[in-house]
Structure 1
């Protein structure tokens, strides 16, 4: 059962508009403004102009047009800024998005607006500023790659935490890579670290069209892991950690009682474990600062071990897949489960990056460079 952390007096989904109440994530803005003021003010001009425009909208159509354009511009500006400043800092976009959603919640427009309409506008802000509605392959390349990154997380422990996967998403979006004359265009999306969004099917909604049509050549999900790169061979179905998400929700799964997540108010279907299909041997040849592991480690209710095949996991109950028992593992499980359900042959899998402490630009630069090298080495077998 989902439960609130005792330290949290309030939880509202980021897509719930009830009065002018702020979400848990928005409530952290005050602390962040003191701890990391330069990060919070990186997009101050954009947010201030948005606030001014928001206060002047006269109807829902104007509000919708404003947020559509603004959210796309925020994503575009964040990508340009990280390249121009060479900062390797994904945090600026994360906090700018929250500052923007806070504006929407805090200032009631001068026209009658329903909760449903306000929710739709907040969803539009989320999707546009995460690259979700900018997924157009416009380059004339041989291959197409879709990559996802995550927001910073565990922010009550480290309010200034960055996430290398988010940095990769910002830097690689729209890039064309080449290997042995083979070209590929990369499109990326930034994913929230919130259980509720996963339970409402955001991963399935994002990826189903690609699997149904087989119209990309590889789907790679990325998140921050431990000391080295891990290619997660066997993602598991269940949640089993006590770490909160960014809304301060603890799902309730444990090592002895792992929980199945939801999909649109029903238990998530599928086997206990699935197997990824990335071109491992080629990706492991990507040169860089870190070792790249083909990680077979899993934990079941019976034991922890390293199966060589999916057949060895038949009948087992998942506690932790290769990616753990949190949302990193789950995005991998959900994407592969969906791929299999839709009978797609798109190579799919998860890359866990080396972990960083707070913000480490030099390390994150090396991480992104090696991720790109992995994608490049994959091209000759896609």
Structure 2
């Protein structure tokens, strides 16, 4: 074969290949690495919780649906549908409408670990179409919102309206078995109606991650802003101190740096837009809540803060609240994300001009494992005392919220 003929044949082959190739061939999308939270997922305890709760199939089902998505819009629909389905299933499980497996139905941990299986699936996904890093991030945000009840808030007419928030489990490197009674409270109360002295009140709930970055990105404000003008009372809820509930009177504008669920730390002023007060104040009816006799745990009207006094340089603990002109270093609820959600929610209340809206933060008792089951290395994922403690906390949280609603007049909406 002559060189000229060989050149002609190669040229023809290249031309045919060019005609056969799509005009805009999509480069293979690169998967994102798993987060610190997602890396914990394959440990024995999370897998046992998923298996025993009946949630082990959530992430595989979601992954199969995602792999069938042939476009970004189709993927968005899959993410929204499966995220909403996970939230509803977790609520229905907690409220006894679907089988609970052989874990107590009040357990909040299956929702947490199932969601992480879904977020990991999105990071691992290599679709057939172009998926930019920003587009993948948007899918993750949508999944977080949908699977946390943040897109599920709806109130009927002619009832009082209460909004409650909870948190994921945290300090999982200390004990991966940990749950969060505030998350359990959110699942138990979502969509329920309580009887108050001022009539029936509908409770809607949502949860938030224990991650500094989500708060920096404005998740709290985006989730709460549409609803605060329409509710009669709100309270953020988190896990606090042993054997007591605290109605936190003051919230400080300071991050203390304790590591979050991604082992990230953040210290300094809480990042918000616009003018920033050092302190915000609860408008919950704290005296009525303390005096309501909700038992069995003591309820404290907590006013202790840590500040740097005006003109000073040293931190001072103030048992009766901040002094004029001081710089916040810890609110009554500390300087972790529980204080931050309270600060952001009450600052949003004030910026929206909702000065008559009762709202603030409630810290629950610490949820403890039973005697003889405190060692995470040898202990079981649940025990009867652990389950009784969680139910007692959830029941008293509901009663405290009901007492708060009974003590407040209908807000101007």
TM more than 0.5: yes
Judge conservation of contact 2:87–2:111 (CA < 8 Å) in 1.
Answer: yes
Aligned to 1:362: 388
2:161 counterpart of 1:144: yes
Flag as ranges the 4+ runs of structure 1 deviating above 6 A: none
2:59 counterpart of 1:47: yes
2:359 to 348, 357, 370: 348
Residues 18-27 or 325-334, more deviating:
18-27
1:220 to 235, 253, 256: 235
Q: CA deviation at 1:74?
A: 0.4
Higher CA-based Rg: 2
Judge conservation of contact 2:233–2:405 (CA < 8 Å) in 1.
Answer: no
CA distance in 2: counterparts of 1:207 and 1:132, whole angstroms:
8
CA distance in 2: counterparts of 1:79 and 1:200, whole angstroms:
27
Residue deviations 1:155-211 (CA, integer Å, cap 9, x gap)? 111111100000001110000111236111111111011111111111111222334
CA distance in 2: counterparts of 1:321 and 1:52, whole angstroms:
45
CA distance in 1: counterparts of 2:346 and 2:328, whole angstroms:
15
Q: Secondary structure in 1 aligned to 2:225? A: helix
Aligned to 1:292: 299
Residue deviations 1:335-380 (CA, integer Å, cap 9, x gap)? 1112112211211100000012356221111111111111212233
Q: CA deviation at 1:273?
A: 1.4
Aligned to 1:154: 171
1:336 to 341, 346, 349: 346
Aligned to 1:314: 324
Q: CA deviation at 1:20?
A: 2.4
Judge conservation of contact 2:251–2:333 (CA < 8 Å) in 1.
Answer: yes
2:327 counterpart of 1:304: no
Judge conservation of contact 1:273–1:313 (CA < 8 Å) in 2.
Answer: no
Judge conservation of contact 2:368–2:389 (CA < 8 Å) in 1.
Answer: no
2:298 counterpart of 1:282: no
Q: CA deviation at 1:77?
A: 0.5
CA distance in 1: counterparts of 2:216 and 2:33, whole angstroms:
22
What aligned pairs does 1:84-99 form with structure 2 within 5 A after superposition? Answer: 84=96, 85=100, 86-99=104-117
Aligned length: 348
1:76 to 68, 81, 88: 88
Q: Over aligned residues, Cα RMSD in angstroms? A: 1.8
1:131 to 149, 163, 166: 149
Residue deviations 1:52-105 (CA, integer Å, cap 9, x gap)? 111121112221111111111000011112233343211100010000111111
Residue deviations 1:217-246 (CA, integer Å, cap 9, x gap)? 0110000000200000011110124x2101
Per the normalisation by structure 1, the TM-score is 0.87
Q: Secondary structure in 1 aligned to 2:252? A: coil
2:238 counterpart of 1:236: no
Q: CA deviation at 1:141?
A: 4.2
1:261 to 266, 270, 282: 270
What residue ranges of structure 1 are gaps of 5+ in the alignment? 1-16, 254-258
CA distance in 2: counterparts of 1:321 and 1:169, whole angstroms:
23
Per the normalisation by structure 2, the TM-score is 0.80
Q: CA deviation at 1:28?
A: 1.2
Q: Which is bigger in relative contact order (C-alpha 8 A, separation at least 6)?
A: 1
